[in-house]
């Protein structure tokens, strides 16, 4: 097995180099074949690894020694176990589908930019694979930074638009804030334990004090906040929608943003031993889930709705992690990857058909023009809303039940968020696909279903969204049917041994399931009825809905609290401190020398007589000085 492991990231790396270096001479079909083929090859190897892990368990394989100082060393090692093999499948599988989709979605680009796009995308997959395959925190950090870089490059892919560049920079800076936390956590581990390998850290966790563990986990969580867009570092993700839609699907929905969940699930034993951090994670996740859901209620850009929905769903995953339901969180990562990638790709298909129109108020009635997109999008909406037996139902339910066990209040707030999720998703669905077409006549004339490269991934993802939940059937329905939990058991064994599991009574759980499902159905019906005959109105909203449309003014708040004071400080330093302070010293020194020289120059009169006079006077002065010297005095007194 270990012989194959290095192949998984190698293929995307080769694809990146080939497309990146050959983007000027490769034709578009060649670029597509290289880009998609690299990921497909990676997927095949991942499948082999997955079944190997399933049969024989995981293992690590060391490629070379990366850093070695004194008796401290960081090997460049890959760890393929149950958790990472599952992520490998998600990344390469969905990655392949999105590459395929991109080959049609991006066909209008010039060949050079087409090649650049696929090079970035392959580099992203490579970095993401490093992130999940690394056997220690340093390799994970390399991948962590790599995906951040690719995210930046792809958000700003259309670099001629200044706003897109700002969005890219915002994403990068916000991620850097989180990365600092991650980095400090790694240093802390090195300082306390002298190792960063997962195996060694988790085995020696008893050597750490509770304060250490709490600090490390909190710092790691700060890293996760940045990467996985949690309060307060979430504002970059909605802006990241500036990138091409397949990028949003791959990076900002299915894979990169779940890196934080992967990292916490990987470090689960640390979190289980730090209950304070767990509560922090749960509360942050829950707050983000509900907060982002409220914003999504009033957004009118099809991608912005999905972006806030992603932030919200990531919040649920953190809620699961905080409640100790690591399997549930990973399960939700998986199902969310299916249905959110599907939603984004469906949105991409709509945007493609609408000639880059993203405002859902100008859509409507697309059902008959885009039949495949419509059906798959509907399935994804049902999945994310949590209608049984679609995949989202199982994973969300598992998280909410675990939240109930931690604190019933978490459960009720979480269900409120789930109801909002159902509402905004079906508002989006209804405005886009039902009712009458509200766009221009020309747009209507050009409406068409997308080519097979785009519909094929939609169909595959729709099947996964519908069926994906069946790997995690709760105990309630059938005993020992949760195959995912059994598969992941070795990874979370340490935590399960420590943590005590509360499970609500079976009758109560049935009640909770039935109640929330019924409420969700009611909300869906309400949303469809409310927006079916929507007509754009010229009215300004006020009060709460205005605050929601403006995203609770969080961006403005950050501007006022952080960005503007920083800009003012920078302006002050630039205009006052530098101009009059530093420049003043430098220019003053120059001016002083110039002035002094001008004065001294007057001594050089050019008159020979003056020079001689000065010379004679100087000699006289010297003699007078010497005159006081004892020897000289004695000499003179002798001769005179």
Partner 1 sequence: MPIQYYIYLCLVLFSIGIIGVLTRRNAIIVFMCVELMLNAVNLLLVAFSKMHHAAALTLNPAATTGIEGQLFVFFIMVVAAAEVSVGLAIIVMLYRNTHSVDINFLNRLKN
Select 187 or 636, whichever has its Cβ closest to partner 1: 636
**Cis-peptide, bond into residue 389, ω within 30° of zero:** yes
Shortest reach from residue 609's CB to partner 1, in Å: 6
Select 452 or 622, whichever has its Cβ closest to partner 1: 622
Select 24 or 601, whichever has its Cβ closest to partner 1: 601
Select 599 or 604, whichever has its Cβ closest to partner 1: 604
Ramachandran class of 78: left when φ > 0, alpha when ψ lies in -120 to 50, beta otherwise: beta
Shortest reach from residue 616's CB to partner 1, in Å: 6
Select 64 or 640, whichever has its Cβ closest to partner 1: 640
DSSP single-letter state for residue 160: T
Shortest reach from residue 637's CB to partner 1, in Å: 13
Shortest reach from residue 626's CB to partner 1, in Å: 17
Shortest reach from residue 632's CB to partner 1, in Å: 15
Shortest reach from residue 622's CB to partner 1, in Å: 15
Select 542 or 639, whichever has its Cβ closest to partner 1: 639
Shortest reach from residue 612's CB to partner 1, in Å: 6
Select 589 or 612, whichever has its Cβ closest to partner 1: 612
Shortest reach from residue 160's CB to partner 1, in Å: 58
Shortest reach from residue 594's CB to partner 1, in Å: 18
DSSP code string of 2-66: HHHHTHHHHHHHHHHHHHHHTTTTS-HHHHHHHHHHHHHHHHHHHHHHHHHHHHH--EEEEEEEE
Select 535 or 599, whichever has its Cβ closest to partner 1: 599
Shortest reach from residue 640's CB to partner 1, in Å: 7
Among 7, 28, 8, 9, smallest CA distance to 19 is for 28
Shortest reach from residue 610's CB to partner 1, in Å: 9
Select 162 or 599, whichever has its Cβ closest to partner 1: 599
CA distance 356 to 224: 32
Select 445 or 638, whichever has its Cβ closest to partner 1: 638
Backbone angles phi, psi at 297, to 5 degrees: -60, -30
Can you give the three-state secondary structure of 66-120, one letter per residue?
A: EEEECCEEEEEEEEECHHHHHHHHHHHHHHHHHHHHHHHHCCCCCHHHHHHHHHH
CA distance 376 to 148: 30
Q: Which token pair is 557?
A: 């708040």
- What is the torsion angle, in degrees rounded to the nearest 10, for the CA atoms of residue 93, residue 99, residue 104 and residue 105? 110
Select 29 or 606, whichever has its Cβ closest to partner 1: 606
Asked whether the beta carbons of 367 and 494 are under 8 A apart, the reply is no
| SS3 state at 66 | strand
Which residues are at the interface with partner 1 (CB under 8 A)? 604-609, 612-613, 616, 639-640
Select 480 or 607, whichever has its Cβ closest to partner 1: 607
Q: Which token pair is 352?
A: 């493609």
Q: How far is CA 523 from the centre of its chain?
A: 31
Largest Cα separation within the chain, whole Å, is: 131
Shortest reach from residue 159's CB to partner 1, in Å: 58
Shortest reach from residue 613's CB to partner 1, in Å: 6
**Cis-peptide, bond into residue 241, ω within 30° of zero:** no
Shortest reach from residue 583's CB to partner 1, in Å: 33
At 1, which helix (H) or strand (E)? Answer: none
CA distance 336 to 262: 14
Q: How many CA atoms lie within 13 A of 398 on its CB side?
A: 30
CA distance 22 to 219: 41
Backbone angles phi, psi at 481, to 5 degrees: -95, -5
DSSP single-letter state for residue 197: B
- Residue 585, class by beta-carbon neighbours within 10 Å (0-12 exposed, 13-18 middle, 19+ buried)? exposed
Select 29 or 609, whichever has its Cβ closest to partner 1: 609
Among 341, 489, 473, 329, smallest CA distance to 394 is for 473
Select 543 or 609, whichever has its Cβ closest to partner 1: 609
Contacts 24+ apart (CB under 8 A), 43-46: 43/89, 43/92, 43/93, 43/95, 43/96, 45/4, 45/7, 45/8, 45/11, 46/8, 46/85, 46/88, 46/89, 46/92, 46/93
CA distance 367 to 25: 41
Among 239, 261, 421, smallest CA distance to 325 is for 261
| SS3 state at 76 | strand
Select 522 or 623, whichever has its Cβ closest to partner 1: 623
Q: Which token pair is 8?
A: 């998984």
Shortest reach from residue 598's CB to partner 1, in Å: 14
Ramachandran class of 480: left when φ > 0, alpha when ψ lies in -120 to 50, beta otherwise: left
| SS3 state at 629 | coil
């Amino acid at each position: 097995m270990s012989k194959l492991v290095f192949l998984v990231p190698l293929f995307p790396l080769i694809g990146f180099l080939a497309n990146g270096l050959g983007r000027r001479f490769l034709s578009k079909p060649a670029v597509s074949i290289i880009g998609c083929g690299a990921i497909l090859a990676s997927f095949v190897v991942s499948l082999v690894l997955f079944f190997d892990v399933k049969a024989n368990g995981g293992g690590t394989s060391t490629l070379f020694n990366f850093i070695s100082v004194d008796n401290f060393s960081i090997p460049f090692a890959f760890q393929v176990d149950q958790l990472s093999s599952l992520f490998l499948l998600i990344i390469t599988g969905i990655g392949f589908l999105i590459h395929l989709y991109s080959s049609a979605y991006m066909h209008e680009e010039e060949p050079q930019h087409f090649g650049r796009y696929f090079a970035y995308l392959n580099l992203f997959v490579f970095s993401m694979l490093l992130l999940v395959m690394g056997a220690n925190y340093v390799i994970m950090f390399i991948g962590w930074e790599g995906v951040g870089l690719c995210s930046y490059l792809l958000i700003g892919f259309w670099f001629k638009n200044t706003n897109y560049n700002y969005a890219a920079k915002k994403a990068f800076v916000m991620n850097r804030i989180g990365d600092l936390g991650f980095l400090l956590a790694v240093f802390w581990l090195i300082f306390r334990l002298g190792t960063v390998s997962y195996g060694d850290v988790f085995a020696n966790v008893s050597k750490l004090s509770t304060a250490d563990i709490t600090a490390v986990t909190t710092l790691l969580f700060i890293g996760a906040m940045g990467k996985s867009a949690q309060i307060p570092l979430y504002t970059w993700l909605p802006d990241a929608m500036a990138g091409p839609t397949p990028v949003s699907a791959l990076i900002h929905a299915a894979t990169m943003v779940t890196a934080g969940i992967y990292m916490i699930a990987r470090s689960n034993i640390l979190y289980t031993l730090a209950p304070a951090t767990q509560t922090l994670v749960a509360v942050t996740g829950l707050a983000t889930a509900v907060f982002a859901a409220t914003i999504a209620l009033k957004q009118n850009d099809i991608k912005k709705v999905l972006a806030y929905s992603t932030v919200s769903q990531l919040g649920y995953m953190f809620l699961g992690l905080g409640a100790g339901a690591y399997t549930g969180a990973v399960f939700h990562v998986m199902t969310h990857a299916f249905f959110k990638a599907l939603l984004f790709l469906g949105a991409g298909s709509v945007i493609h058909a609408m000639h880059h129109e993203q405002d859902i108020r100008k859509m409507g009635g697309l059902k008959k023009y885009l039949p495949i997109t419509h059906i798959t999008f509907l399935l994804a909406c049902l999945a994310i809303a949590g209608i049984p037996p679609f995949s989202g139902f199982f994973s969300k339910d598992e998280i909410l039940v675990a939240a109930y066990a931690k604190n019933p209040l978490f459960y009720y707030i979480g269900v409120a968020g789930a109801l909002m999720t159902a509402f905004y998703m079906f508002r989006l669905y209804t405005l886009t696909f039902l009712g009458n077409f509200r766009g221009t006549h020309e747009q209507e004339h050009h409406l068409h279903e997308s080519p097979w490269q785009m519909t094929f991934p939609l169909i595959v993802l729709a099947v996964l969204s519908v069926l994906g939940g069946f790997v995690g059937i709760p105990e309630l329905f059938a005993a020992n049917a949760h195959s995912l939990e059994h598969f992941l058991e070795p990874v979370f064994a340490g935590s399960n041994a420590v943590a005590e599991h509360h499970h609500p009574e079976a009758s109560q759980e049935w009640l909770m399931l039935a109640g929330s499902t019924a409420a969700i159905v009611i909300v869906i019906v309400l949303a469809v009825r409310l927006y079916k005959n929507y007509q754009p109105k010229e009215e300004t909203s006020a009060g709460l809905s205005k605050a929601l449309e403006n995203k609770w003014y969080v961006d403005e708040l950050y501007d006022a609290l952080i960005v503007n004071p920083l800009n003012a400080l920078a302006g002050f330093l630039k205009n006052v401190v530098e101009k009059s302070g530093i420049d003043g010293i430098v220019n003053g020194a120059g001016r002083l020398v110039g002035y002094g020289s001008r004065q001294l120059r007057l001594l050089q009169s050019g008159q020979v007589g003056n020079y001689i006079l000065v010379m004679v006077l100087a000699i006289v002065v010297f003699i007078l000085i010497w005159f006081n010297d004892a020897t000289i005095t004695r000499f003179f007194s002798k001769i005179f």
